[in-house]
Amino acid sequence: MKAVNAAEDRQRIQWLRQELEEHNHRYYILDQPIISDIEFDALMRELQDLEARYPEWEDPNSPSKRVGGGVVKGFETVYHQWPMLSLSNTYSIEELREFFDRIEKALGHLPEMVCELKYDGVAVGLRYREGQFERAVTRGDGEKGDDISENIRTLGSVPLCLKEHSWPAYFEARGEVYLPRAGFDKINAERLEQGLEPFANPRNTASGSLKMQDSGAVAKRPLDIFIYSLHSDEPLPASHSEALEQARRWGFRVPPAQWICLSDRPDELMEFMARTEALRPQLPFDIDGVVIKVNNLDIRQKLGFTAKSPRWAVAYKFQAEQALTRLNEVVYQVGRTGAITPVAQLEPVLLAGTTVKRASLHNADQIEKLDLRVGDWVYVEKGGEIIPKVTGVELDRRPEHSQPLHYATHCPECGTALERNPGEAQHYCPNRLECPPQILGRLEHFVSRKAMDIEGLGGETLDLLVRTGKIHRPSDLYTLSPASFDGLERMGAKTISNLIDGIERSKSQPFERVLFALGIRHVGETVAKKLCAHFGSLQAIRQATQEELLDTEEIGTVIAESVRSFFADPEQQREVEALVRAGLHTEAVEKVREGNALEGLTLVVSGSFERYGRDEIKELIEKHGGKVASGVSAKTHAVVAGSDMGPAKRKKATDLGVPIWSEAELEAHLGLGAEQG
Ligand code: IVH
């Protein structure tokens, strides 16, 4: 009897899942619901009850998962199979003409173009396998992003199971997640009621929402999505407009309208632009321009990409919003590395929906270029950045007897005379070891997640430890004992022991993080990794000559000079010595050899891969005795090609008779295929 019931329940679960997805589609995509919210909720509750009874039939794509609830600690990094590039921006009809000229020159004619709105949100890639939602990834740095699948599942307009059956077995749909203005206003009204600071704008709120760790909280944010491209190794419709129509039939939310026009009539485009700009305030969501794209996908392929963006598309952005206000004062901020940033203090003014009181002035050159004076009426603009900038002065309103601005000569925090290196725009406070914001900034950087990752040591605790004289520089952290915290407020025994444990654990961080944590000017995470891979040890980096440093991949004179002067400074030497004594890693871990299958072979890696990042592929080759070269030549033994290997490289390899291996073929050479599945 029970078996019969179970079979019926199973059928009912399947029916409910399909039914609820269909209602979801009708509600979120078609905007034509046929049942009431109450009926929908009743079906959902029935499904949830059944699912609770049969955990063995759990399905990550069940509509019940849309309510969220899972809490993640961090987001997994995922490599993109097709790089996630950005668009080049244009702001004038001249730049737009140049874009068309370049296309015409490359093709000999002007192809059909599509115009779309440029939604102001967050780019995401949605991966589908066999018609089922598999993963959602943020753009990140274009090469790899964060896995935000749990959060994306809560968006009603993201289909979890696709309709029809004509989809490629594996593909990615990309689009923009945004927060409609009404939803944004509602969230802010609630925040105000709760005494919380309102959010700045819909875009940042959307982006912050997708990074929340509690998907249940994300489900409460009325986020939405527009899909603007499909990517697959399998065949797709021949043009962008057909691809989007296809995507619509599969159940995606695709923008309602696109305008197809011929690019030999930029006036038509201008008209489209003007109409869109007029429409802008009435749209229920924010846009920041229009996107103009070649429609035909073969033609796109012919045009190809630059390093950062496709040659077949361009964003034509609206002029940034501007406001005119008075400059009351210029103050100077001191950063962690001692870099000075001038900041304009303005008479508060309303700009793009927020009140602006401060604006960035970048550096002394910019102030001089603008001939900025206190009391001036200045133009403030808000572009893509969060901090507005001062872009010009209204000279007609300049007060009489105003005086040119004298840039700060001394550090506002410690009074030391500022310095400026030849060729650099920024001024610096050279008092690295005693200037308070630099002391604190250096410590904050040292303990931060991407550096030594010492949990529980937030800015406030560090500030307290610095103010009470317990620590002054990073190496002091390693001298702390439970007794050092005696008499400090808000520091219980448990907190203290967690802190000491965290500090102790940080000693196992690899050398590349230690190098990054030192806070050498211009040595970010990537540069630290490159230096570490090239030199292998702290000792070798310290002793490196300028020429040897310049030999490192991606390292130019400014970085090389900065590294040299850091290690030449006696104070820094003392600090580095103290860190070495504390037991931090100062040597790169030898790459463990895993085999000799590629001994003596030189391979070139090109494109992006399904199971590995490009660097991981290179590492894999090296671990098996192979060498990695950057360009294809007669000496290359094979090219390991990802999904989007450049046509030029492919041609060269074919011409030279160099074999091209897929990711799977490489694995087969290494005897890895089977286990990696
Ligand atoms: S197509 C190669 N179409 O703008 C990138 N992007 O700077 C092709 N965006 O990352 C993107 N609306 O997040 C495209 N209709 C649209 C868009 C759009 C907004 C965003 C997207 C992209 C950024 C480009």
**Å from CA of 173 to ligand 1 middle:** 12
Determine the pLDDT at residue 631. 77
For residue 160, is pLDDT > 60? yes
Domain 436-508 CATH superfamily: 5' to 3' exonuclease, C-terminal subdomain (1.10.150.20)
Please tell me if the CB atom of residue 314 comes closer than 6 angstroms to any atom of ligand 1. no
Residues 72-105 pLDDT 10s: 778 999 999 998 989 998 877 788 888 988 998 9
Mean pLDDT confidence for 525-554: 89
Residues 668 and 640: beta-carbon distance below 8 Å: no
- pLDDT in the model for residue 1: 44
Sheet holding 313-317, edge to edge: 89-90, 313-317, 287-294, 112-119, 259-262
Closest atom of ligand 1 relative to the 85 alpha carbon: 2
Region 478-492 average pLDDT: 86
Contact 291 CB / ligand 1 (< 6 Å): yes
Structural contact between residues 254 and 248, judged by C-beta atoms closer than 8 angstroms? yes
How far is ligand 1, taken at its centre, from the CA of residue 225, in Å?
A: 12
Domain spans, the chain: 6-67, 89-315, 320-428, 436-508, 511-582, 602-676
Return the higher-pLDDT residue of 562 and 277: 562
Contacts of 642 (CB under 8 A, 6+ apart): 81, 605, 606, 607, 608, 609, 610, 614, 663
Integer-rounded Cα radius of gyration of the chain: 29
Look at 138-152, 257-271, 295-309, 544-558 and tell me which has the smallest mean pLDDT: 257-271
| Residue bearing the CA closest to ligand 1, atom 18 | 118
Q: 3-state DSSP call for residue 671? A: coil
Tokens describing residue 501: 């444990």
The predicted-structure confidence for 397-410, as pLDDT tens digits, reads as follows 999 899 999 999 99
Concatenated DSSP letters of 626-641: -EEESS--TT--EEEE
How high does pLDDT run on average in the chain?
Answer: 88
How far apart CA 498 and CA 456 sit, in angstroms, is 8
pLDDT at 423 over 80: no
Report the C-alpha gap between 677 and 670 in whole angstroms: 14
- 3-class DSSP state of 458: coil
Alpha carbon of residue 667 to chain centroid: 30
Measured distance between the N- and C-terminal CA atoms of the chain, rounded to whole angstroms: 40
Other Cβ atoms closer than 10 A to 352: 16
How far apart are the CA of 86 and the centre of ligand 1, in A? 6
Task: Establish whether residue 86 lines the binding site of ligand 1, counting it when its CB lies within 6 angstroms of any ligand atom.
Answer: yes
Catalytic residue among 65, 118, 144, 317: 118
Report how far residue 573's alpha carbon sits from residue 566's, in angstroms, rounded to the nearest whole number. 8
CA distance 511 to 492: 32
Distance of CA 396 to the CA centre of its chain: 42
- Say how many Å lie between the CA of residue 294 and the centre of ligand 1: 14
Q: What is the pLDDT of residue 553?
A: 76
The CATH class for the domain spanning 6-67 reads: mainly alpha
Question: Is the CB of 228 inside a 6 Å radius of any atom of ligand 1?
Answer: yes
Fold of 89-315: D-amino Acid Aminotransferase; Chain A, domain 1 (3.30.470)
Known catalytic residue at 118: yes
Which helix (H) or strand (E) segment is 218 a member of?
A: helix 215-219
Pocket flag, ligand 1, residue 85 (CB < 6 Å): yes
Question: What pLDDT score was predicted for residue 651?
Answer: 83
Residue 454 gets the label, from left (phi > 0), alpha (psi -120 to 50) or beta, of beta
Q: Tell me which of 176, 241, 285, 608 to substitute to probe ligand 1's pocket, judged by most ligand atoms within 8 Å of the beta carbon.
A: 176
- How confident is residue 488, by pLDDT bands cut at 50, 70 and 90? confident
User: Is the CB of 254 inside a 6 Å radius of any atom of ligand 1?
Assistant: no
602-676 is a CATH 3.30.465.10 domain:
no
Inter-residue contact 447 to 470 (CB < 8 Å): no
Residue of minimum CA distance from atom 17 in ligand 1: 118
Q: 511-582: which CATH number, 3.20.20.60, 3.30.460.20, 3.20.20.140, 1.10.150.20?
A: 1.10.150.20
Instruction: Please name the CATH architecture into which domain 320-428 falls.
Output: Beta Barrel (2.40)
Give the number of C-alpha atoms closer than 13 A to the C-alpha of residue 231, restricted to the C-beta side.
19
Here the tokens at position 668 are 């087969």
Position 398, amino acid? R
Judge whether 436-508 and 511-582 match in fold. Answer: yes
Q: Ligand 1 centre from 361 Cα, in Å?
A: 29
Q: How far is the CA of 119 from the centre of ligand 1 (A)?
A: 8
For tokens 């909720």, what's the residue? 41
Closest ligand 1 atom to residue 116 Cα is: 15
